[in-house]
Amino acid sequence: MSSTVSLPVGPAFAPPVAASTQQAAATLEANDIGKHFGGIHALEGVSLQLRAGEVHGLIGPNGSGKTTLLNLLSGYYQPNSGVIRLDGEDLSTATVQHRSRLGIARTFQKPRLLPTLPVLDNAVLGAWPHARAGFLATAFGLPWVGREDRALRARAVELLHGVGLGHVLRRRANLLSHAEQRFLEIARGLAMRPRFILLDEPAGGLTGHEIANLGDVIRTLRDGGIGVLLVEHHTDFVFRVCDRVTTLNVGRVIKHGAPDEVRNDAEVIRVYLGA
Amino acid sequence: MTANLRTGIALAVALLLVATLPRWAGDQYQLHLAALICVYWILIAGLNLVVGYTGQLSIGHVGLLAIGAYAFAILAGKMGWHPAAALIAAGALGGLCGLALGLPSLRLPGFYFAMATMAFALIVGEIVLAQVGLTGGGVGLPGPVFPAPFDTPHGFYYLVAALAVLTTWLSWNVARRLWGIGLMSIRDNPVAAQAVGVPLFRAKLTVFVFSGITAGIAGATFSSLQSYITPDTFVFELSLFFFVCIIIGGRGSIVGPFLGTVVLTALPELVAPLAKLGNFFYGLLLLVVVLAVPEGIGRMVEVVIERVRPRVVSNEPIEPDLPRLARAIGAPS
């Protein structure tokens, strides 16, 4: 469990369901993070602020630590130094599950789905943090459990239609195309009602048309007040949809700012974008 | 709705069959066999959530069955408890032992967990043999009879059939709700399960304790059905038998493992030549199923249809419906 650190500014106890007034201030931040695996320093002194209602790009060459940072934010890794905070609350040692209940969702570089289950079941799994039914209530088939289940499924159906998978609700996940799997992972993440969603190379393997659709989806999430972290190699795409961009190189932030600033930065061009 | 209707009709027919079985069962022996299937199924229905849904390969449930059986024989026989109270106590003890076994072992990865449960079954066998004062050692104990109206073969059949229907209903409720999907996420993709907040260890422990309770209750009725229990009644092969019933039936299904239980229990008894083959029959059946229909016999029809007439997977483009998406996200909760 996480320990709550009282800060001079900001509420020490953010309610799990954020009121609309706090929505504006909501941030998921990595502060001066260091992470090493054995002797390899994957990240050193990295800071990043992900705000609600904003798309934040994270780019950099292979091995620069992008996915490591994403794993630290979502809780799969714990930092060796530095702090992960959500609305000022220290989450550095919180479990992945705890973070999911606080509203942090993510997708994976290689989609991780339940291969033999239908699309709808895969998506509704994301509603787990919001299901109140425990094992006993479920086993004894209490009427409210059935009602809750149907409501969660109905919402998952809406999300699936929303991302464009309405035509494959009953198809087994292992029969989906690569792009469909990526959109399904996003729908599953959205079923968690996240305040922040971390997308790990969502455009990988997608066609131009599909990437355009992905961009539309991401912008819709942003307008809905969700903070989106976009780890991506398609730099054109990143500069098109992001409000801010952070560039990593060998575990350090080399440039951070608006897309145009980053795109024209000499160092970023030298190590990553190329002339 | 048509799917619901079909499920409803299938359920009604199944219940009618279970209720009228004593009328068309040929003789007492067949009724005994039906009762034995029910007793096994009480255990397997619970174990199915552990093995078939959560993917935890427990091969030690014969230990929990023995604990329930001896608890019932000692409490209701030696100590003179009312059999109903002893039955509940057997279930509770099974659940407690499931907790004690699950706490240290469910964190182990697949193969090591299986070994831990096997060790548990062997230890229970040795303890039963050694505690002569309590369990009668190698001589065994008589299995107490349930009071009227459950003291006849008919009455006893209805008792175990009712318990089997109850455990089926409980596990079906879990399987068809979000919990069932959560359990399968632990089986198929623990990393994704974590990401959506499924508490891996606690969920595994919960279903394991549930399977301990059903194993304890199955054990109690088993000792009554067998009328006499010795350590030899609970051979390790029985554990493998439970496991094989689920694998042959198919993972992530309730109908399949039930059919597996029926077939594996009844066939060797009803078809004399198969009885002579003994374990060879189980082995062969397991091999055939795993190689030919790895999805299990519960999905055989489905699989055959799909092979004869493969479903055409059309690749329609993904066209997001952005207004609908915006509405679904809604005002942030």
The reply to whether B325 falls in a domain is no
Q: Which of B169, B188, B319 sits opposite A115 (nearest CB)?
A: B188
Span B128-152, average pLDDT: 89
Kindly determine whether residue A135 and residue B174, on different chains, have CB atoms separated by under 8 Å: yes
The reply to whether A1 falls in a domain is no
Kindly determine whether residue A18 and residue B329, on different chains, have CB atoms separated by under 8 Å: no
Span B302-313, average pLDDT: 77
Tell which residue, A45, A111, A110, A40, has the closest CA to residue A246.
A45
What pLDDT is attached to residue A275?
62
Q: Which residues contact B308 (CB under 8 A, 6 or more apart)?
A: none
* Domain limit, last residue, from A169, A193, A217: A193
What pLDDT is attached to residue B21?
84
The reply to whether B295 falls in a domain is no
Residues of B in Cβ contact (< 8 Å) with A126: 196
Quick one: closest CA in B to A71, which residue?
B195
Indicate whether A30 and A153 sit together in one domain: no
The reply to whether B289 falls in a domain is no
Residues of B in Cβ contact (< 8 Å) with A188: 196
Q: What's A271's DSSP letter? A: I
Indicate whether A122 and A258 sit together in one domain: no
What pLDDT is attached to residue A1?
38
Question: Is the distance from CB of A84 to CB of A30 less than 8 angstroms?
Answer: yes
- Is the pLDDT score of B332 beyond 90? no
Residues of B in Cβ contact (< 8 Å) with A190: 328-329
Q: Which of A99, A124, A138 to mutate to test the interface with B (most CBs of B within 10 A)?
A: A138
Residues of A in Cβ contact (< 8 Å) with B182: 125, 128
Q: What is the number of domains present in chain B?
A: 1
The reply to whether A228 falls in a domain is yes
Residues of B in Cβ contact (< 8 Å) with A183: 318, 320
Indicate whether A44 and A98 sit together in one domain: yes
Q: Which of A116, A152, A210 sits opposite B178 (nearest CB)?
A: A152
Domain that holds residue A141: 114-193
What backbone torsions phi and psi does residue A226 show, to the nearest 5 degrees?
Answer: -90, 140
Indicate whether A37 and A146 sit together in one domain: no
What pLDDT is attached to residue A2?
40
Indicate whether A185 and A200 sit together in one domain: no
Kindly determine whether residue A114 and residue B171, on different chains, have CB atoms separated by under 8 Å: no
The CA–CA distances, whole Å, from B99 to A167, B42, B95 equal 44, 18, 6
Q: Does B177 touch chain A (CB under 8 A)?
A: yes
Quick one: closest CA in A to B200, which residue?
A97
Residue B189, classed as helix, strand or coil, is coil
Q: Which two three-digit tokens encode residue A177? A: 């195309």
- Distance (Å) from the C-alpha of residue B226 to the closest C-alpha of chain A? 30
Q: Which of residues 137-176 of B touch A (CB under 8 A)?
A: 169-171, 173-174
The reply to whether B246 falls in a domain is no
Question: What amino acid is encoded at B229 in this protein?
Answer: I
The reply to whether A9 falls in a domain is no
Quick one: closest CA in B to A94, which residue?
B197
Q: Encode chain A (275 residues) as per-residue pLDDT tens digits.
A: 344 433 333 333 344 444 444 444 589 999 999 999 988 889 999 999 999 999 999 999 988 999 999 999 999 999 999 999 999 899 999 999 999 999 999 999 999 999 999 999 999 999 999 999 999 999 999 999 999 999 999 999 999 999 999 999 999 999 999 999 999 999 999 999 999 999 999 999 999 999 999 999 999 999 999 999 999 999 999 999 999 999 999 999 999 999 999 999 999 999 988 86
Q: Which residues pair with A30 in a beta bridge?
A: A48, A84
Q: Which residues contact A250 (CB under 8 A, 6 or more apart)?
A: A63, A64, A65
Q: Which two three-digit tokens encode residue A223? A: 């307008």
Question: Is the distance from CB of B90 to CB of B71 less than 8 angstroms?
Answer: yes
Q: Does B326 touch chain A (CB under 8 A)?
A: yes
Q: Does B319 touch chain A (CB under 8 A)?
A: yes
Domain that holds residue B116: 27-236
Q: Which of B317, B322, B328 sits opposite A159 (nearest CB)?
A: B328
Instruction: Quote the mean pLDDT of chain B.
Output: 90
Q: Does B201 touch chain A (CB under 8 A)?
A: no
The reply to whether B259 falls in a domain is no
Q: What's B143's DSSP letter? A: P
Indicate whether A33 and A67 sit together in one domain: yes
Q: Which residues pair with A48 in a beta bridge?
A: A30
Q: Does B313 touch chain A (CB under 8 A)?
A: yes
The reply to whether A3 falls in a domain is no
The reply to whether B154 falls in a domain is yes
- Distance (Å) from the C-alpha of residue A54 to the closest C-alpha of chain B? 14
Q: What is the number of domains present in chain A?
A: 2
* Helical segments of chain B, H only: 2-24, 28-48, 61-72, 83-105, 110-130, 132-135, 153-176, 178-188, 190-195, 200-226, 236-249, 255-270, 272-277, 279-292, 300-308, 322-329
Span B19-45, average pLDDT: 90
**CA angle, A203 then A225 then A153, to 5°:** 75
Question: What amino acid is encoded at B307 in this protein?
Answer: R
The CA–CA distances, whole Å, from B215 to B46, B62, B182, B184, B238 equal 7, 8, 23, 21, 13
Residue A258, classed as helix, strand or coil, is coil
- pTM of the entire predicted model: 0.90
What pLDDT is attached to residue A165?
95
Q: Which of A100, A165, A217 sits opposite B195 (nearest CB)?
A: A100
Kindly determine whether residue B198 and residue A97, on different chains, have CB atoms separated by under 8 Å: yes
What pLDDT is attached to residue B289?
84
The reply to whether B105 falls in a domain is yes
**Distance separating alpha carbons of residues A155 and A123, to the nearest angstrom:** 10
Indicate whether A33 and A132 sit together in one domain: no
What pLDDT is attached to residue A199?
97
Q: Which residues contact B222 (CB under 8 A, 6 or more apart)?
A: B39, B65, B68, B69, B143, B229
ipTM of this complex prediction, to 2 decimal places = 0.89
Indicate whether A198 and A271 sit together in one domain: yes
What backbone torsions phi and psi does residue B254 show, to the nearest 5 degrees?
Answer: -105, -40
Indicate whether A97 and A228 sit together in one domain: yes
* Domain limit, last residue, from A193, A216, A245: A193
Residues of A in Cβ contact (< 8 Å) with B49: none
Indicate whether A187 and A218 sit together in one domain: no
Indicate whether A203 and A137 sit together in one domain: no
Quick one: closest CA in B to A18, which residue?
B333
* Domain limit, last residue, from A167, A193, A219: A193
The reply to whether A13 falls in a domain is no
Kindly determine whether residue B316 and residue A167, on different chains, have CB atoms separated by under 8 Å: yes
**Distance separating alpha carbons of residues A129 and B236, to the nearest angstrom:** 40
The CA–CA distances, whole Å, from B28 to A29, A264, B23, B157, B162 equal 72, 88, 11, 11, 19
Read off the CATH number of the domain in which A255 is found.
3.40.50.300
Q: What's A156's DSSP letter? A: H
- Distance (Å) from the C-alpha of residue B321 to the closest C-alpha of chain A? 5
pLDDT band at B124 (very low <50, low <70, confident <90, very high): very high
What pLDDT is attached to residue B288?
86
- Distance (Å) from the C-alpha of residue B60 to the closest C-alpha of chain A? 23
Q: Which of B189, B318, B326 sits opposite A223 (nearest CB)?
A: B326
Q: Which of B178, B318, B329 sits opposite A179 (nearest CB)?
A: B318
Kindly determine whether residue B315 and residue A177, on different chains, have CB atoms separated by under 8 Å: yes
Indicate whether A207 and A97 sit together in one domain: yes
The reply to whether B15 falls in a domain is no
